[in-house]
Structure 1
Amino acid sequence: MYGHLGRIGSQALYFCVPFREQLLEYYSSHKIGADAEDNLLTCLADLFTQINSQKKKTGVIAPKRFVQRLKKQNELFRSYMHQDAHEFLNFLLNELVDILEKEDQAAKKEGETLSPSEKTVNGPKNPQANGVQKEPLVTWVHKNFQGILTNETRCLRCETVTARDEAFFDLSLDIEQNSSITSCLKIFSSTETLNAEDKFFCDKCCSLQEAQKRMKIKKPPHILVIHLKRFKYIEQLGRYKKLSYRVVFPLELKLSNTVEDADSEYSLFAVVVHVGSGPNHGHYVSLVKSHNHWLFFDDENVEMIDESAVQTFFGSAQEYSSNTDHGYILFYESLGANKS
C-alpha cells in the first residue's frame, strides 16, 4: 500500500515545480550518493534526481529506497492497511523541515559557511504561532507551502480584538453537498458567535464575555494545498464514513478571504483522488498538469487526459452513485509567484 501511496505523493510533489527545483538543487549541492546516510530528505531528493535525469521518454521508477525509509521512520506506514494520503503529506513535509533545521543547527555549531542555496533563511519570530512554528528559521519547504492564519476574537462588551497567528502547510475544509471550494473557504472564514458555555475570557474585561470569532488568511502560501474532509465520523454508525459530495474545484481560484482583502490568484496543478466507497479501503490516483497538459497517474499507468476530464472528479451529486473517484487533496500554485 505504501509503495503506492509513496508514488502518488511523490507525483503530486514532483510536479510542484518550485519545490522540485529546490530539492534537485539540494541534491546537487550536497552531492548525495548511494552511500549517503538515509533520511526522508535524501531519499526523496535521490528519487526526484533519478526521475529528472532519465533519458528515456517513458518508463517506471519504483520509490523503493524512499518507501523503505518511510516505513522505518513511522510505524503507521509499515502495514498494508489503507492509510491516509493527507496524513502522509503532513508527515513528509514536517519531517523534511525537521531535517533541514537540524542540518542548519549542526552547520552553525561547526562554524561552517554555507552557500545561499544551502542555507535556511532567518525569518521573523512568531511567538503567537500556538506551538505550530516556534523557530525563526524559514526553510525552502516553508517558502513553498507555509501560509499564516490569524484567529480574530472580538469581545462584544468592550470591542477589543484579540488576534492569534498560526502557521499552516495545508487548509482542511469541511464540505457540503453540491458546493464549491469558494463556498467552503467562505464557511471556513465565517464569523462564529461564542456564548453560553463557549464564552471567551476577555483580558480587558477580566471576565468571560460573549464574543465573535473568525479565521482569516493573513499570509497566503505560494503553494496552496487544500484537503477536503471527505471522511467524517458518524456517531449513529460508530464509524467513519466517506462523503462522496460533489465539490467543484476550479482550475483558477481566487482567494478573497485574506487579511488584506486583496485577491490572491491560484492555478490548479495537481489533484490526489481517493477511489473507493469507504475510508478503510480504496485506492489513490493523481492528476497533474505538466507543460499545459493534464496527465492521469494510476500507479505505473499514465495517460494524457483532456482538461475537461478534471471535473469528473468533483464528486457525486446524488448520495448513491456508482462514481467513487473523488478529489481529496488539491494543489494550487500562486500566479503571483509565477509573475515574480
Structure 2
Amino acid sequence: MGVAGSKLEKALGEQFPEGERYFGLENFGNTCYCNSVLQALYFCVPFREQLLEYYANNKNPGDAEENLLTCLAELFTQINSQKKKTGVIAPKRFVQRVKKQNELFRGYMHQDAHEFLNFLLNELVDILEKESHAAKSSPQTTSPSEKIANGPKNALANGVKKEPLVTWVHKNFQGILTNETRCLRCETVTARDETFLDLSLDIEQNSSITSCLKNFSSTETLNAEDKFFCDKCCSLQEAQKRMKIKKPPHILVIHLKRFKYMEQLGRYKKLSYRVVFPLELKLSNTMKDADSEYSLFAVVVHVGSGPNHGHYVSLVKSHNHWLFFDDENVEMIDESAVQTYFGSAQEYSSNTDHGYILLYESLATNSKS
C-alpha cells in the first residue's frame, strides 16, 4: 500500500483535501463485506461527524463497556486522526466485536454486505436507545448520551405509549413510507405509515433506479383471494394499494435485489442485470407531496457470478473526487468509471462487477441536525 498510497497522494497532489484521510482496511479472511460497507459509511460525512463527536464525549474507557458503537467510533477516530494522509488500518477490534455480537458473521463464509449494513445500523440504534433510557433514569441532569440521542424529553403519563426515541442514526438514515389502500366500493383510503432505513428494490434487465422506484410505488389491485377488509364497508372488498415515500431520509440507501431464489434451480441466483444509477437522483414519482433531490456518494459493488462467493469493493465520492476501495488498496478513479458498475446488458458477461448498495445524500440544506 506504500506505493499505492504515495501514488494516490501524487495523483491528488495539491488537490488533496485538507484534513481528509484515505485509508485501506485490512481483510481478516473474507471480511470484504464489512470493509466495503465501512468505507461507504466513513464517507457519509454527517454520520462520521456524529461518530467522532460520540467518541470525543465517551472516550473515557471507565464510563462504558465496549460495544459495536464504541468500536466503530474508535475506528473512525483512528482513521480521522492519522498523521499520514494514506495508508492501511486493521479494523481488528471492530471485526472481533461484530463476530462476538452476531454468529452469522463468525465463520469464513461469504457474507452479504446488505445484511451486514442492516445489522450494524439497527445495532447502533439499539445501543443509543439503551444509553438514552439509562441516562434518563440516572440522577444526573444531563449526560453526553442524552445530548447525542436527541430523543423526546417526556414520556406521556397514564400508560399511553410514548413517542419512539429518534437517535442520530435515525436522523441520517430513516425515512417514512405511507402504504395507501383505497377501497374500490366506498373510495375510503386507509393509510399506514412505516419507517425504513433503506429501500430494497426489485430489478429488471436494462432498467434504471428511476424505473425501479416507479415500480416500487406502482398501484396494485387487490382482488380474488387478496381482497382487502374495509372497515367502513365491514367486509372484504376489491381495493387498490400503493406505497409512497412520505418523508425522505437525509441519506437514502438503496439496495438492489440482485440475488433471487429460482424455484426451478432450487437455489439463489445472481441477477447481473444492467440497472443505471444516476449521479443525481430525483424522487418525483415516489414522493407523496414533493420532489427530493439526491447526489450519489457511495456504491458497494458485488464482484462475482453467484450469491455464495465473490468479493465486495466500494466506490466513494469525496470532495468531488471518486475513489476505489478494495480492502487494503485505494485508488483514484474517473467519474465516468462509475457507469461500468451498472451491470450487464446480456445475461452472460465477463463483467461480474455490479452495483449492489447505493448511498445518496439529500441536496436539501437541512443536512445536519
- Residue identity matched to 1:120: N
Aligned to 1:131: none
Deviating above 6 A after TM superposition, structure 1's stretches of 4 or more consecutive aligned residues are none
- Residue identity matched to 1:84: D
Q: C-alpha distance in 2, partners of 1:22/1:193?
A: 43
CA contact (8 A) 1:2 1:77 kept: no
Aligned to 2:190: 162
Is residue 363 of structure 2 the alignment partner of residue 335 of structure 1?
yes
Q: Mapping of 1:114-263 within 5 angstroms?
A: 114=143, 117-122=147-152, 136-263=164-291
Q: C-alpha distance in 2, partners of 1:100/1:48?
A: 17
- Residue identity matched to 1:215: M
Secondary structure of 2:96's aligned partner = helix
Secondary structure of 2:32's aligned partner = helix
Rg larger for: 2
- 1:37: how far off? 2.0
Kindly tell me the number of residue pairs found equivalent between the two proteins. Answer: 332
Q: C-alpha distance in 2, partners of 1:177/1:38?
A: 45
Q: C-alpha distance in 2, partners of 1:156/1:123?
A: 43
Deviation track 1:211-270 (CA, whole Å, cap 9, x = no partner) reads 000000000000000000000000000000000000000000001135543110000000
Deviation track 1:182-236 (CA, whole Å, cap 9, x = no partner) reads 0000000000000001000001111100000000000000000000000000000
1:69 to 97, 102, 110: 97
Q: Mapping of 1:86-105 within 5 angstroms?
A: 86-105=114-133
What is the TM-score of this pair, normalised by structure 2? 0.87
Q: C-alpha distance in 2, partners of 1:246/1:271?
A: 15
Q: Mapping of 1:288-303 within 5 angstroms?
A: 288-303=316-331
Summarize the Cα distance change of 1:121–1:35 in structure 2 as closer, same or farther, 3 Å threshold: closer
Aligned to 1:129: none
Secondary structure of 1:157's aligned partner = coil
Summarize the Cα distance change of 1:315–1:338 in structure 2 as closer, same or farther, 3 Å threshold: farther
Q: C-alpha distance in 1, partners of 2:332/2:214?
A: 34
CA contact (8 A) 2:148 2:167 kept: no
Deviation track 1:285-334 (CA, whole Å, cap 9, x = no partner) reads 00000010000001101100000000000000000100000000000000
Q: C-alpha distance in 2, partners of 1:29/1:219?
A: 31
Structure 1 vs Structure 2: percent identity of aligned residues? 85
**Structure 1: segments with no counterpart, 5+ residues:** 126-133
Secondary structure of 1:316's aligned partner = coil
- 1:109: how far off? 0.9
Secondary structure of 1:59's aligned partner = strand
Summarize the Cα distance change of 1:98–1:324 in structure 2 as closer, same or farther, 3 Å threshold: same
Q: C-alpha distance in 2, partners of 1:260/1:239?
A: 37
- 1:27: how far off? 0.5
- Residue identity matched to 2:148: E
What is the TM-score of this pair, normalised by structure 1? 0.94
Summarize the Cα distance change of 1:10–1:337 in structure 2 as closer, same or farther, 3 Å threshold: farther
Aligned to 2:51: 23
**Structure 2: segments with no counterpart, 5+ residues:** 1-28, 156-161
